[in-house]
Structure 1
Amino acid sequence: MSTPYTEDCISFTGIFGEPVGFPMLTDPLDSFMRRHELGSGMKRGETIKSLYEPGNYLYLQRDFGARAFFSGHAFVPLDETLQAMANIYRKNQQCLYKDRARIKINIDALECTFVAASTSRPLFLRHPITGIITKHEHPYPAFPTIRLRTADPIMVASKACYQLSTFSQKRPSLLLQFQRAQDYFFRNPPIGWFSRANRPAIPKPPLIPAPPSVAASSISPLHCAVRPAMSTTTPSTQHPRLRKRQRDTALSGECPPTKRSRGAPCIPPRTNPPRAAKNKGRTM
C-alpha cells in the first residue's frame, strides 16, 4: 500500500507550515455549481450551503494555495471516480427532476492526480510519515497520487474542468466525458433554474484553518530531515579572552620567570665615625 500523501504535503518553496483551507468554488451562481446541483441530484439552493462545508475546501500550504487554482493546474480524481460520477450524471439526464439519484462516493478515500498542463516551476513534496522533502521537476513524472482530506469529488472535478478548459490535449478522457455529461444540464435546465433574479447577495467562503491531520501529527522533529546549521567559527579561531588566558598561563615545560620586587631595596643605615676619629682627622 502506497503512502497516503495529502494536499498539504505540496509546496513551491520547500518551506512547510500550517496549511490553510482554500475554497475551490466561491460563486453559488457559477454555471459549474448549478450544473453540479442538477446533475448530482441536489435540491435547489443546496449548493449555497455546500460552499461553506469541508467538501469545498482544499487544505494547502499558503505558497501553493495562492497558485493552485491558476489555469493549467488541477487536481483530477482517478478514473474510477470520474466514471462513477459520469454514470450518475447520464442516468439523471433520463429522469424527472424529482427522480434524480444522488451521487455517493467515499470521500475519505478520494485520491487524485496533480495535472500541470502548462509549464510550471519545481514542486517540493514532504513525506507525511518521515518528513523528508523531495524536489520534483515539471512535468513531475514521479509525483504520487494525492489523497484529498475532505474535498467533494464533484467539486474537485468541476474545478478541474474549468482549470484545464484551455488545455484540451492535456485533459484526461474521462474528465472530458464528465464535463460533457455535466454540460447537458446547462443546455436543458428546468425553467428558471439559472435565473439570477431575486437572489440575495451571498458572501464568498473565507479561508479557514485546517483541521488536525493524523499523518501530519505523526511527524516528530526527530524524523524530519533537518540540515544542520553551519558554524560561524572555525576550529582555529578562539575567543579573545581565551587567548589572553593562554598567554598568561606558562607552558608546563618552562619555569616561570622570577618576579622583580617592586619594594624599596634593603640599604643598610649610614653610621657616623666616632668623635675621637673625627677630631683626629681635623688636626692632621
Structure 2
Amino acid sequence: MIAFLGMGLLGSNFVRALISKGESVQVWNRTASKATALETYGAKAFADVTDAVRNADRIHLTLKDDHTVDEVLAAATPGLKPGAVIIDHTTTSAEGAIARTKAWKERGFTYLHAPVFMGPANALESSGNMLVSGDQAVISTWQPALSKMTGMVINLGDAPGKAAGMKLIGNSFLVGLTAALADTLSLAKALEIPVSDVSSLFSSWNPGAALPARLQRMTSGTYNNPSWELNMARKDTQLFIDAAKKGNLTLAVIPAIAAEMDRWIEKGHGNDDWTVIGKNSI
C-alpha cells in the first residue's frame, strides 16, 4: 500500500500514474477536496493524515517546504506502520533533508529525499528526472520503484543532503533563466521586435548549446585570454538598459548585472573575459 500526502498538481498526477500502474494509493491533502478529487481515478482519500498513512509501506510527500514536511509528518506519526519508508519529493533545504534522514532513522523509519526536475505532465507520463543521495543500500532497494515514477533516477552519492542541494542549484538556474528571458522580451518590446522573431532567432541560434563551454570558462580561473572582454560586455549591457528606458520599460535583472560588471571593472578586470564576474563563486 502507498500513501501520498500533498495533492497539488505534481502530487495528484503522481497518484494518477501510480494507479494506472496497478498500485493502491491512499491520499491526503490539507484542502480535502483536492484529495477526494482523486477518488475518481481510484485513490482512497482521507480527511485525517494519520488515517491516510495507516498500513502504508511507503509514504510519498509533495509538500511546500521544510516546515510543512515536518508538520505533516508529525501529525501522521501515530498512523505510521513500523519500518515504513518515507520518500519526500518536496524541494527543501539541504540541512532539513539531512536532519530528517537522521531523525527518522533514529525512530526506526527510512527517510529518503528524492526531489524532482519534473512538471505535472512529467509526473503523469512518468518522465523527467528524480534526484537521490544518501544511504546506498536504501537507494538500491527503492530505486526500482522510483524508476517507475520517472524517466531517470539520478544517484548523487552518499551525502544525504546532496540531492536537496542539487535541486536548489537547478531551480536557481531556472529562476535566473526565466528572469533573464523576461528582460530579453522587454528589450524586444522596447525595440518593437515581435516575440515571434525572438523565437525564430533562438530556433536558429541556440545559446543553450554554449552552456558547457561557458561553465568551463567561468570555472577555469583563467580570464586573461578573452573571447568577449568585460569592457565590451558592459558597453552592450548599457545599450540594453538605454533601449529599454527609451521604450518606457524597466529591466529586472540586467541593471544588477551591470552593477556587478562595474565592480569588476573597477578592480582592473575590464580587459579580461567577461566571465570573470563569476570568479568569486568558484
Same fold by TM (over 0.5)? no
TM-score (norm 1): 0.20
* Larger helix share, 1 or 2: 2
Higher relative contact order (CA 8 A, sep 6+): 1
Higher gyration radius (CA)? 1
